[in-house]
A and B are shown apart, each in its own frame.
Chain A
Amino acid sequence: MAPTVEIHRKQIGHPEWDEPFVVNMGPQHPSTHGVLRLFLELDGETIVGCDPRIGYLHRGLEKLSENLTYSQALVLTDRLDYISSAANNTGYCLAVEKLLGLSVPRRARLLRTIVCEMARISSHLLWLATHALDIGAMTVFLYCFRDREWLLDIYEKICGARLTVSYTRIGGVRLDFTPEIVEELYRFTEEFPARITDYETLIDVNRIWLKRTKGVAVVPPEKAINMGLTGPSLRGSGVPYDVRKFKPYDAYDEVEFEVPVGRNGDTYDRYRVRMEEMRQANRIIRQCLDKLPETEGEPVVAEGAPDLLMPEKKKSPQAVPHPKKGFLVKGAEVPVVPEGEVYVSIEAPKGELGYYIVSDGSGKPWRVRVRAPSFVHISAIPEMVKGHMVADIIAVIGTLDVVLGECDR
């Protein structure tokens, strides 16, 4: 007989045995959305303690990027949150651009905003599909995947890749949109709002859905900030913190959109926030598309942006004064990326995605630190599930919208 691996039986149920019943959930479990292992201590069906164990997908992206040039490390950021890779690329590029002091052309900023919002929609669609499937509303799944597929097809037309797009470049984007892509995106934005309404009719009044989400995992606003929740998970509690409004980047300062917030801070409110966010994302894409003809013919990469084959060290082509002795020296070393450090955060679909980069003047970053929203959200799981039933863990993991590739880095 095979040993049943998942359950360690300690001492069960007897009043004299006071040790809690311990259950391992994961690392292979369909509802953990990756390789997340939860170490649960149960009292009957109620959760007494929870200890998430992560690191199964740890690839050492931070260490790897220290050994690559800035342009090469861009590719690694795709693999963080592989569902919305365009947003990760944009955050990284914004940080490096700030170090370099580059200003990106307006057309490139508009294009970036479009791909970021497409990433938001496709990420939220995947979230809705899997979250609903986990909780028991199975119909939504395929409908969501149909629309996500459409978006992935558009990504493929834009840059040739569906998931790991690497579309943004330091100082701009890789390619301009062709007229067909613009047309297709217009068609998408026409049809998509009606599709969202479809999903809402499927689950908004579904009795099982309401029972499994209303009043589950309530987080008060102060506690949500203290636990570090960001993005829709925080806004569900009623805090209107959105990096797109607070520190506008790219073209977010020239488009109109609203930041939806919840009232009760439960799973249902976070669901409502994400649904509304999809509508707003659709609106942003529409406005950016309308603005595109104004910038027709502009370059999509800033002048002086580093090439893909950027050097690790750079020698000055002209003679420059020696730093100490004063006379002119030929071919002295000049910084590739100016020395300094920067923390830049963006509103990724999951929450605040921050990059803290330290540069020592060479072509390789000294330190790249990724502040991943999923990492912080998983650390909040123990607080949120305490006192709930085992089945509610599925709802909590779903509502926080975690991706383990980003959590483990």
Chain B
Amino acid sequence: MSVVEKLRERFGTAILGEEVSCDQISVYVDREVLPEIMRFLHDELDFKHLADLCGVDYLGWKGKRQKKERFEVVYNLYSISRKEPLRIKVSVPEEDPRVPSVTSIWQVANWFERECYDMFGIRFEGHPDLRRLLMPENWPGHPLRKDHPLELEEEWPEYEKLREKARELSRYEWGDRRVRGG
């Protein structure tokens, strides 16, 4: 019995659909029961390795496959004992961007979820420490969203403060350093 069949047998309607692309199976699941499904996959089906967790923004998507919601959170799992990959997907609407956290199952999910929150603004409920990771704490918006510009039109306001601080610090003498570049 394949993994998808086992999942369907156990969770029934919470499994929303499946999709095959380049011989790789993805399973759409209901986000409300995601922790139970992940716990089942981890404990009983032996998917011990969470290879990757990331978000995708489908704003303005022109592909043939229909996307119901704006965001998707993608979990790439791998079972080391059976050499079998599996992709789990959760659709996340724009108005209510939240997903239950899986940090209690995989420790590695901690930073993956923080990054996903940083880049897409998707909130992971139950995450112990949901802060920004790569971007500055007071950065406006979430950079990997499709409506975030590649280049800001104006300079980031905090940057001027940083420059000011650097100017202030350059007044001090720093050990043996005499002239810049000297």
- A360 CB contacts on chain B under 8 angstroms: 61-63
Across the interface, name the chain B residue whose C-beta is closest to A345. B51
**In the assembled complex, A178 has its CB within 8 A of some CB on chain B:** no
Task: Report Cα–Cα, A343/B143, bound state, in Å.
Answer: 22
Partner of B22, one of A341, A354, A375: A341
CB distance from B179 to the nearest CB of A (A): 16
Contact B80 A225 (CB under 8 A): yes
Partner of B111, one of A247, A358, A379: A379
Contact B76 A343 (CB under 8 A): yes
Task: Report Cα–Cα, A98/B22, bound state, in Å.
Answer: 7
Number of interface residues of B (CB under 8 A): 43
Partner of B80, one of A241, A340, A378, A379: A241
Contact A408 B134 (CB under 8 A): yes
Stretch of A35-43, A54-62, A114-122, A187-195 at the chain-chain interface: A54-62
Contact A63 B54 (CB under 8 A): no
Task: Report Cα–Cα, A63/B52, bound state, in Å.
Answer: 18
**In the assembled complex, A371 has its CB within 8 A of some CB on chain B:** yes
Contact A356 B64 (CB under 8 A): no
**In the assembled complex, A376 has its CB within 8 A of some CB on chain B:** yes
Contact B174 A379 (CB under 8 A): no
Stretch of A144-152, A208-216, A271-279, A361-369 at the chain-chain interface: A361-369
CB distance from B110 to the nearest CB of A (A): 6
Query: Mask for B50-78, Cβ within 8 A of A = 1, else 0?
Result: 11101011000111110000000010100
Partner of A225, one of B49, B65, B134: B49
**In the assembled complex, A320 has its CB within 8 A of some CB on chain B:** no
CB distance from A66 to the nearest CB of B (A): 8
Contact A228 B173 (CB under 8 A): no
**In the assembled complex, A309 has its CB within 8 A of some CB on chain B:** no
Contact B51 A225 (CB under 8 A): no
**In the assembled complex, B172 has its CB within 8 A of some CB on chain A:** yes
Partner of A356, one of B74, B80, B150: B74
Contact B56 A367 (CB under 8 A): yes
Contact A99 B22 (CB under 8 A): yes
Contact B63 A375 (CB under 8 A): no
**In the assembled complex, B21 has its CB within 8 A of some CB on chain A:** yes
Contact B135 A356 (CB under 8 A): no
Contact A63 B150 (CB under 8 A): yes
- A227 CB contacts on chain B under 8 angstroms: 107-108
Contact B108 A354 (CB under 8 A): no
Across the interface, name the chain A residue whose C-beta is closest to B20. A340
Partner of B134, one of A54, A67, A352: A54
Task: Report Cα–Cα, A227/B111, bound state, in Å.
Answer: 10
Task: Report Cα–Cα, A367/B169, bound state, in Å.
Answer: 41
Contact A226 B64 (CB under 8 A): no
**In the assembled complex, A307 has its CB within 8 A of some CB on chain B:** no
**In the assembled complex, B123 has its CB within 8 A of some CB on chain A:** no
- A376 CB contacts on chain B under 8 angstroms: 108, 111
Task: Report Cα–Cα, A228/B105, bound state, in Å.
Answer: 12
**In the assembled complex, A239 has its CB within 8 A of some CB on chain B:** yes
- B80 CB contacts on chain A under 8 angstroms: 225, 239, 241, 246
CB distance from A37 to the nearest CB of B (A): 13
Query: Mask for B85-119, Cβ within 8 A of A = 1, else 0?
Result: 10100000000000000000011101100010001
Q: DSSP class of A's interface residues: helix, strand, loop or mixed?
A: mixed
**In the assembled complex, B83 has its CB within 8 A of some CB on chain A:** yes
Query: Mask for A168-182, Cβ within 8 A of B = 1, else 0?
Result: 000000000000000
Task: Report Cα–Cα, A168/B150, bound state, in Å.
Answer: 27
CB distance from B75 to the nearest CB of A (A): 10
Contact B54 A369 (CB under 8 A): yes
Contact A340 B52 (CB under 8 A): no
Task: Report Cα–Cα, A345/B78, bound state, in Å.
Answer: 11
Task: Report Cα–Cα, A2/B174, bound state, in Å.
Answer: 6
Interface residues of A in 333-348 (CB under 8 A from B): 339-343, 345
Contact B107 A341 (CB under 8 A): no
Interface residues of A in 293-347 (CB under 8 A from B): 339-343, 345
**In the assembled complex, A200 has its CB within 8 A of some CB on chain B:** no
Task: Report Cα–Cα, A81/B76, bound state, in Å.
Answer: 22
CB distance from B71 to the nearest CB of A (A): 11
CB distance from A75 to the nearest CB of B (A): 17
Across the interface, name the chain A residue whose C-beta is closest to B42. A226
Partner of B54, one of A356, A361, A379: A356
- B24 CB contacts on chain A under 8 angstroms: 341-343
Query: Mask for A221-243, Cβ within 8 A of B = 1, else 0?
Result: 01001111000000000010100
Contact A383 B107 (CB under 8 A): yes
Q: Which of A62, A222, A379 has the most CB of B within 10 A?
A: A379
Task: Report Cα–Cα, A341/B26, bound state, in Å.
Answer: 10
- A342 CB contacts on chain B under 8 angstroms: 21-22, 24
Task: Report Cα–Cα, A225/B42, bound state, in Å.
Answer: 12
Across the interface, name the chain B residue whose C-beta is closest to A379. B111
Across the interface, name the chain B residue whose C-beta is closest to A323. B64
17 sampled A-B residue pairs with Cβ under 8 A:
A1-B172, A54-B134, A98-B22, A226-B106, A228-B108, A247-B83, A339-B65, A352-B51, A354-B76, A356-B54, A360-B63, A367-B57, A369-B52, A375-B111, A378-B111, A379-B110, A409-B134
A-B pairs with lowest CB-CB distance, top 5: A228-B108, A379-B111, A340-B21, A55-B134, A360-B63
Contacts from B to A (Cβ < 8 Å): 21-22, 24, 26, 48-52, 54, 56-57, 61-65, 74, 76, 80, 83, 85, 87, 106-108, 110-111, 115, 119, 133-136, 143-144, 148, 150, 169, 172-175
